[in-house]
C-alpha cells in the first residue's frame, strides 16, 4: 500500500507530527501540547486581516440594504454560526432575524450529532429556500475543510438567488468554490492535535473570525460608543446593571438617575445617554441619533477616558 492510499490532501485531515505521542503523555504534557497548537491560531487569523476587513464591509452593506447575515454550516462549524447569531441580539440590540444561523440536520444537531447531515446537498439547497434568502442578504458558509457538501450546495443556491456569498474555512478551499464566492477567509491552522478533530484549532479560528465579523459590522453601524455596548438589551439583572453603569460613567450621574433615564428612554441605554448628556426628551434624543446615523459620539462628544478601578 502506498502513502497515497491513506493520505488525505486536506490540511484538516493530516496528521500532526508534534502530537503523534500524545496518547502516552501525562495530563500536564497534554495541556502543554494542546496549548502550543492553540498558540498558532491567532497568527493564522491575523494573516487574513485584510480579507476579514473586506468581509465586514460586505456585511455592513447587506445590513444597510435591509438584508441579513445568514450563517450556514455543519457540525462544529454550524454550531459556531448559530452561536454567533444567537449572541447578537443581547449584545447589540439587533432583531433575531438580522443575523441567523442554519445548521445541517436542523436545530437538533446543536446538541446531538446528526450523522450524514453534512453530505446532504439537497438539504443545503433547501436550507436557503427555507431561509428565504434574497439578493439583499449575505450568506456565510462555514466549513473547516472547505469541502462540506451541505455548505457548498447552500452557497451555490444562495448565489442563484442573488445573495453575496462568503466562505470561512481553515484549509485551502477548492478552486471552483473560491472563485465563485465574493470573499474567502482561509485561516489555515494546519493539522489538528487529534487528526481531523476540527473542534480544536479550526473551531477556535472560526470562532475568532465570526466574532470579528459581527463585532466589526456592529461597530461600523454605530452600536457602540467608544468601547461600550450602548445598544445592549437589558434582559437580565447583569445586563440591567451593566446598562446603568454605562449611563453613570458616560453621563457622570448616580445609579438612581441612570436608572430613571433608562426607564424614560424605554430601556434604551443609547437614548438615555443622549437624553442625560444633552438635556433633551426621548423624542428629541431619537431625532438627534437618527440625524447622526445612530452614532452617539457625534451627538454628545467623546466618551469619558478609561479609568482604573478603585
Which range scores top for mean pLDDT: 11-20, 116-125, 230-239, 279-288?
279-288
| Cα distance between residue 227 and residue 247, in whole Å | 13
Q: Give me the pLDDT at residue 216, please.
A: 98
Question: Which residues carry out catalysis?
Answer: 87, 118
Mean pLDDT of 254-275: 94
State how far Cα 236 lies from the chain centre. 22
Residue 72 has phi, psi (to 5 degrees) of: -145, 130
CATH 1.10.8.60, domain 237-300, yes or no = no
**pLDDT for 137 beyond 90:** yes
**pLDDT for 153 beyond 90:** yes
Q: Give me the pLDDT at residue 7, please.
A: 62
Same fold, 42-220 and 237-300: no
Q: Give me the pLDDT at residue 113, please.
A: 83
Mean pLDDT of 196-225: 97
Higher pLDDT, 208 or 174: 208
Residue 114's pLDDT band (cuts 50, 70, 90): confident
List for the chain the helix, strand, coil content (%; round to 5).
55, 10, 35
How much of the chain exceeds pLDDT 70, in percent? Answer: 97
Q: How many other C-beta atoms are found inside a 10 Å radius of the C-beta of residue 277?
A: 19
CATH 2.130.10.30, domain 42-220, yes or no = no
**pLDDT for 6 beyond 70:** no
**pLDDT for 301 beyond 70:** yes
**Considering only 35-44, 152-161, 204-213, 299-308, which range has the smallest mean pLDDT?**
299-308
**pLDDT for 250 beyond 50:** yes
Per-domain boundaries in the chain: 42-220, 237-300
Q: Give me the pLDDT at residue 1, please.
A: 47
Q: Give me the pLDDT at residue 5, please.
A: 61
Q: Give me the pLDDT at residue 79, please.
A: 96
Mean pLDDT of 98-120: 91
**pLDDT for 139 beyond 90:** yes
- Averaged pLDDT of the chain: 94
Residue 2's pLDDT band (cuts 50, 70, 90): low
Residue 103's closest CA among 131, 121, 133, 79? 79
**pLDDT for 156 beyond 50:** yes
**pLDDT for 99 beyond 80:** yes
Q: Exposed/middle/buried for 122, CB within 10 Å: 0-12, 13-18, 19+? A: exposed
Query: pLDDT, tens digit, for every residue of 42-67?
Result: 999 999 999 999 999 999 999 999 99
**pLDDT for 183 beyond 70:** yes
Sheet holding 183-186, edge to edge: 99-103, 69-73, 138-142, 164-169, 183-186
**pLDDT for 4 beyond 90:** no
Mean pLDDT of 237-258: 94
Amino acid at each position: 500500500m502506498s502513502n497515497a492510499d491513506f493520505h488525505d490532501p486536506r490540511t484538516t485531515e493530516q496528521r500532526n507530527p508534534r502530537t503523534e505521542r500524545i496518547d502516552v503523555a501525562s495530563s500536564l504534557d497534554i495541556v502543554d501540547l494542546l496549548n502550543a497548537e492553540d498558540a498558532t491560531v491567532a497568527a493564522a487569523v491575523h494573516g487574513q486581516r485584510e480579507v476579514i476587513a473586506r468581509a465586514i464591509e460586505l456585511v455592513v452593506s447587506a445590513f444597510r440594504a435591509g438584508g441579513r447575515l445568514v450563517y450556514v454550516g455543519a457540525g462544529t462549524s454550524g454550531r459556531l454560526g448559530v452561536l454567533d447569531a444567537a449572541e447578537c441580539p443581547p449584545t447589540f440590540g439587533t432583531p433575531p432575524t438580522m443575523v441567523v444561523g442554519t445548521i445541517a440536520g436542523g436545530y437538533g444537531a446543536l446538541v446531538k450529532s446528526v450523522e450524514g447531515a453534512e453530505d446532504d446537498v439537497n438539504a443545503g439547497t433547501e436550507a436557503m429556500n427555507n431561509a428565504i434568502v434574497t439578493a439583499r442578504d449575505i450568506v456565510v458558509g462555514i466549513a473547516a475543510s472547505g469541502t462540506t457538501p451541505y455548505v457548498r450546495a447552500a452557497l451555490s443556491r444562495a448565489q442563484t438567488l442573488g445573495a453575496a456569498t462568503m466562505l470561512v474555512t481553515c484549509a485551502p478551499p477548492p478552486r471552483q468554490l473560491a472563485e465563485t464566492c465574493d470573499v474567502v477567509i482561509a485561516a489555515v491552522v494546519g493539522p489538528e492535535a487529534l487528526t481531523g478533530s476540527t473542534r480544536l484549532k479550526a473551531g477556535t479560528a472560526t470562532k475568532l473570525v465570526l466574532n470579528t465579523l459581527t463585532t466589526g459590522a456592529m461597530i461600523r453601524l454605530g452600536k457602540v460608543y467608544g468601547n461600550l455596548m450602548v445598544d445592549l438589551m437589558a434582559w437580565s439583572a447583569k445586563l440591567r446593571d451593566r446598562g446603568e453603569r454605562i449611563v453613570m460613567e458616560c453621563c457622570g450621574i448616580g445609579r438612581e438617575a441612570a436608572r430613571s433615564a433608562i426607564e424614560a428612554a424605554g430601556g434604551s441605554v443609547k437614548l438615555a445617554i443622549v437624553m442625560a448628556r444633552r438635556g433633551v426628551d426621548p423624542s428629541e434624543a431619537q431625532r438627534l441619533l437618527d440625524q447622526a446615523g445612530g452614532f452617539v459620539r457625534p451627538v454628545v462628544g467623546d466618551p469619558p477616558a478609561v479609568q482604573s478601578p478603585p
